[in-house]
Amino acid sequence: MLASMSKIVNHSARRLEIVDACLRVVSRAGLSGATTREIAKEAGVSHGIISHYFNGKNEILRAALQRSYQQLADRIDANLNGLSGAEALQQAVYDALPVDDEGRVGEQIELAFWAYAIGNPELAEERWRSYTEWRRALELLIKGAQAQEHLDGPDPTLVAETIISTLDGLGAQVAMYPDRIPAKRMVEIMNAMLAGFGFVTITNA
């Protein structure tokens, strides 16, 4: 039984190594450069090992997209411990901004997946699933902030979609021009948007 469990753990760990290698290749060379051979080289495994764990490039890319979103979600969740109301909303929005090297690399990966998903229904569906989960999580935070600050509206879904659209726009700009929009300016832009909905603004950065 223990041997069987060990195989399961090793299988999962090896898949994760390949997925992380894929993300590194995408951040460096884009989706066009993320061939299975390049991913195998980055992971330090043979092409045959890649084929053993994944049924083609699309499956690797889908797993990589899931991994990228999960990393962001985990970072946001970790920083929300003990927070509620407006403070929780502020923290979540700030953590989603690409204000550091990790965030900028994440946006470069995200932008690469956007372009590739246009002609790839599976990746497009995965992108939409992650978007929906993120929107619903924001809606809960927005409702909490509205209750704390006694705000009567607007619709939490509208606010969530506006926040995501603003974050996506900033992310695309940072991915293309990483040195042109400083963190302070990104916070100012998000604060202008949050203030328009009546929320207390971000104090980070």
Give the ranges where the chain is alpha helix by DSSP (H).
Answer: 2-29, 36-43, 47-53, 57-79, 85-96, 101-117, 121-148, 156-176, 183-196
- The pLDDT tens digits of the residues spanning 48-91 come to 999 999 998 888 988 888 888 888 889 899 999 889 999 999 99
The percentage of residues in the chain with a pLDDT greater than 90, rounded to a whole number, is 48
Look at residue 4 in the predicted model and tell me its pLDDT: 45
* pLDDT surpassing 90 at residue 169: yes
Instruction: Report the predicted TM-score, pTM, of the whole model to 2 decimal places.
Output: 0.82
Look at residue 18 in the predicted model and tell me its pLDDT: 94
Question: What does DSSP assign to residue 36?
Answer: H
CATH class of this structure's domain 66-205: mainly alpha
**Tokens read off for 142:** 């927005």
**Residue ranges covered by each domain of the chain:** 1-54, 66-205
**Torsion sign over Cα 30, 138, 178, 118:** positive
**Residue 46 CA from chain centroid, whole number:** 29
Q: Within 13 Å and on the Cβ side, how many CA atoms surround 165?
A: 8
Domains 1-54 and 66-205 share a fold: no
| CATH, domain range 1-54 | 1.10.10.60
- The pLDDT tens digits of the residues spanning 109-129 come to 888 888 888 888 888 898 899
